[in-house]
Amino acid sequence: MLTVNPNKRITAAEALKHPWICQRERVASVVHRQETVDCLKKFNARRKLKGAILTTMLATRNFSSRSMITKKGEGSQVKESTDSSSTTLEDDDVKEDKKGIVDRSTTVISKEPEARRQEIIKITEQLIEAINSGDFDGYTKICDPHLTAFEPEALGNLVEGIDFHKFYFENVLGKNCKAINTTILNPHVHLLGEDAACIAYVRLTQYIDKQGHAHTHQSEETRVWHKRDNKWQNVHFHRSASGKISGATTFDFIQQK
């Protein structure tokens, strides 16, 4: 009907008899919507792939609740049809499923760093407890054999290994550790990936001197932790005395008892 030459132009009656008009539900959906259907299939495939990747990432976190998320991710299906009346995407259902997955994954992932921070604080407290009790064996299990340290006892030098600390365990800590209490203040943990972390804190140590007087020693410490074979080890630390006890170090105040 749009032909310029009127002799070749069909009439309205002929146009109404054309398959595109009289059989539009069958012919039009096949001819005109085939490309649209192909695009929808590709879109569905990409959406399913994205959901599969997300659920796989969640499953690797070793949380029991992730199994439910995986089933939910795999259950996100999109219907496809070439029929004009049924060629639709279940957008609402897919959005709800995706929203549920994202909400649960966000909750799990947000809890994970906090749990690791608490783990670092706990292992740091165990290390300090080993120092206070003079437990050198426990100290060596928590520290890396090649531990490096900057501390007042080393007079500004970088010390490597635990032999330097062994001297204090054998001659100071083991004999003078009955009345010591340590408190960690304001611990701040930096997560450096899945298997590394750094913690900075203020260490308050209470003790009783030889005259029976109570004292408190304060120092600022930073420790670097590395996870090997599913076990945290202290690989480096830095300690600086605050000057609460003039010229005193961590081991000096113990000798004053």
Please tell me which residue, 27 or 47, carries the higher pLDDT value: 47
- Describe the chain by its helix, strand, coil percentages, rounded to 5: 45, 25, 30
| CATH fold label, 114-255 | Nuclear Transport Factor 2; Chain: A, (3.10.450)
Q: Provide the CA 54 distance to its chain's centre, in angstroms.
A: 15
pLDDT of residue 45: 73
Buried b (16+ CB within 10 A) or exposed e, 106-116: eeeeeeeeeeb
Q: What is the mean pLDDT of residues 144-171?
A: 88
pLDDT tens string 211-254 = 888 888 899 999 999 999 889 999 999 998 765 443 344 554 44
pLDDT attached to residue 109 = 55
pLDDT (average), residues 15-28: 71
Tokens of 159: 């010390």
Q: Which tokens is 240 given?
A: 């600086």
Q: Where are the domains of the chain?
A: 12-111, 114-255
Tell me if 162 sits within 8 A of 171, measured CB to CB.
no
> How many distinct helices (H) and strands (E) make up the chain?
9, 6
pLDDT score recorded for residue 118: 94
